[in-house]
Chains A and B, each alone.
Chain A
Amino acid sequence: MNTVLIFDLLKVSFGEKVLKIDLNDQPQSIEIIVQENRELFTFLRDHDQLYFDMLSSITGIDNGPEVNTMEMIYNLYSIPFDLHLMVKTKLDREAPLVPTVSDIWKTANWHEREIFDLLGIRFEGHPDLRRILLPSDWEGHPLRKDDVLQERYHGIKVDY
């Protein structure tokens, strides 16, 4: 099984929801549309020739106000078949909302909280979407390109 075959397999089952394949990335990636990504991920996890049982990492990227998109990148790994897959999805920057995968892979729970904390992407259906690294009363999401640091936090000057 390689990425091209996985792509074809996904195309058959999900059609329009699977956009394109990029063989230059390491590991090779597949781009999907963000809505209803949950069925696709469940399919990837449960398929008997793929069995992507481990979610290594989730990354959120802000492309800045000019491009006006954000991206989510899921790095999956299949322990029994030694397969890598990177799944990408683009989302709207104004009100970024992604269905959660934290019930498919429990590890996504904290990863999604981290992305919410640093980038302000919201996760629909997440059981406990709180800030994780920054204090609860911090203002803004520091990894957004247009984030402006607050001047003072509890009377402490922030930007030195």
Chain B
Amino acid sequence: MAIQYTYHPDHLKNSESIYTSVSSLKRGEMVFNIGPQHPSTHGVLRLEVVTDGEIVKEVIPHIGYLHRCFEKHAESMSFNQTIPYVDRMDYMSAMNSEHAYAMGVERMLGITDQIPKRVEYIRVLVAELNRIASHFVAIGTYGLDIGAFTPFLWLMRDREHILRLLEWTCGARMLYNYIWIGGLYYDLPLQFEERCAEFSAYLKPKLEHLETLLITNKIFIERTAKVGVLPLDLAVNYGVTGPMLRGSGLKYDLRRVDGYSIYPELDFDIPIGAGAMGTVGDCWDRTYVRMQECRESLKIIDQCLTMLSSELKRDKDFNPRALAPKKIRPKAGDYYVRAENPKGELGFFFRTDGRSDIPVRCKARGCSFVNLSVLPEISKGVMISDLIAIVGSLDLVLGEVDR
């Protein structure tokens, strides 16, 4: 049966309220909408903008167009059944979200220390591959937003290699369900390590190309430097995390701060914004932090591959699902777990009653949701074209904003 809809002229007005009252507008001011279907909003985001000519007076983001009731679903499903839903929150970096979620449930079960080293190394390997893919989309579409077409095509070409590698491991290109609670779906496919090392060698010069083609391009700098400056105190007060916070100059990365999984054993730097082209915390800084993070992720991938092909070599008796619990029954309590996603701090709050394998409450603290909330603050008084540049530099995934 097709979906029935009753037309009524008031429906639209009642459901998507215009926040600004037209009678309060001053002379020359105008309200207009960007989105929800607009390429530069990176998804179904609607921005209600009050303008005076080309100047943005006020931005009111309207979200919820992609709300899929994650928290409601999670209350009716066991912990392991929720993992595919976690994938669909931040669909650009599903491996990272899975890693955070699985880690949270393992911590509740108290089996964090028993997870085999090989499993942890594979998790970090695929998560870092996914981080590069996510940053490539962020940088590529950002270039697209402000008029650079070539970098987008180049980055999509390179991201395709990552998606194929990940498809090889688990059969899906973007929504993996690969990291399970207590283990992995499968071990890595045969010869994955060699192919991945080839890819890593291939990608390194490509990052140099990206830097000359886009990041240090004069037009790109003119469009992004000194635009959308996010001061550090404001960023912390708004709970902004990830490359946005690091772009504002704070060396704060949960992989180092919390040192979860095997990250303490790995050697990598945390790039921060220094205002090299303008002011600390501008759009250029955020993008450059993302680009440098790709290099650091490559470093991590190389170290993981070395470990996976020497000390933690493939073994035919190795069963990545050996520890996956048959019955997941954490003891009663409240837990908050967080991990560093490409976009920032992804947190999960769980309340369990100790009697069932279904959480009483599962809340996801999405990084894009929190990062978007700072937009009205940093886009007051900018030009409309700069607003597009600012929205692009937030690196939003609406799947995670709306959950």
Contact = CB atoms under 8 A, between A and B. Distances in A.
B347 A56 contact: yes
Contact of B333 (A24, A110, A118): A24
B18 to A, nearest CB: 10
User: Dominant SS at the B interface?
Assistant: mixed
A135 B349 contact: no
A154 B7 CA distance: 7
Interface stretch (A4-12, A92-100, A101-109): A101-109
Contacts of B168: none
A109 B237 CA distance: 11
A11 B41 CA distance: 48
B5 A156 contact: yes
B238 A136 contact: no
Contacts of B334: 22, 25-26, 29, 73, 86, 88
Nearest to B4: A155
A56 B338 contact: yes
Interface string A37-65: 00000000000000001111101010000
B102 to A, nearest CB: 16
Nearest to A147: B72
B336 A56 contact: yes
A155 B14 contact: no
A66 interface: no
B4 A156 contact: yes
A53 B236 contact: yes
B237 A107 contact: yes
A124 to B, nearest CB: 20
Given A57-B336, A59-B361, A136 B237 contact: no
Contacts of B318: none
Given A75-B349, A132-B64, A107 B239 contact: yes
Interface string B164-203: 0000000000000000000000000000000000000000
Contacts of A110: 369-370, 373
B247 to A, nearest CB: 16
Contacts of B363: 57, 59
In which size bucket is the chain A interface? Answer: 35 or more
B237 A135 contact: no
A140 interface: no
Given A75-B336, A82-B257, A135-B15, A142 B72 contact: yes
A142 B15 CA distance: 17
A19 interface: no
A93 to B, nearest CB: 15
Interface in A15-30: 22, 24-27, 29
A133 B402 contact: yes
B17 interface: yes
Nearest to B1: A157
B16 A135 contact: yes
A154 B8 contact: yes
Given A135-B15, A143-B72, A109 B373 contact: yes
Interface in B123-168: none
Contacts of B338: 56
B334 to A, nearest CB: 5
Contacts of A55: 239
Given A56-B239, A59-B349, A133-B64, A26 B107 contact: yes
Interface string B80-116: 0000000000000000000000000001100000000
B298 to A, nearest CB: 28
B11 interface: yes
A79 interface: yes
A55 B238 CA distance: 8
Interface string A64-97: 0000000001010001001010101000000000
Q: Determine which residue in B16, B72, B237 has the highest number of CB atoms from chain A within 10 A of its CB, and name it.
A: B237
Contacts of B237: 53, 105-107
A130 interface: yes
A41 to B, nearest CB: 13
Contacts of B236: 53-54, 79
B71 interface: yes
A61 B351 contact: yes
A33 interface: no
Interface of B: 3-8, 11, 14-17, 19, 63-64, 67, 69, 71-72, 75, 107-108, 234, 236-240, 250, 252, 257, 333-338, 345, 347, 349, 351, 360-361, 363, 365, 369-370, 373-374, 377, 402-403
Given A130-B19, A143-B75, 8 more contacts: A57-B363, A82-B257, A106-B374, A133-B402, A143-B71, A154-B15, A155-B5, A156-B5
Interface of A: 22, 24-27, 29, 53-57, 59, 61, 73, 75, 79, 82, 84, 86, 88, 105-107, 109-110, 118, 130-137, 142-143, 154-157
User: A-B pairs with the 5 shortest C-beta distances?
Assistant: A155-B6, A107-B239, A135-B15, A57-B365, A137-B14
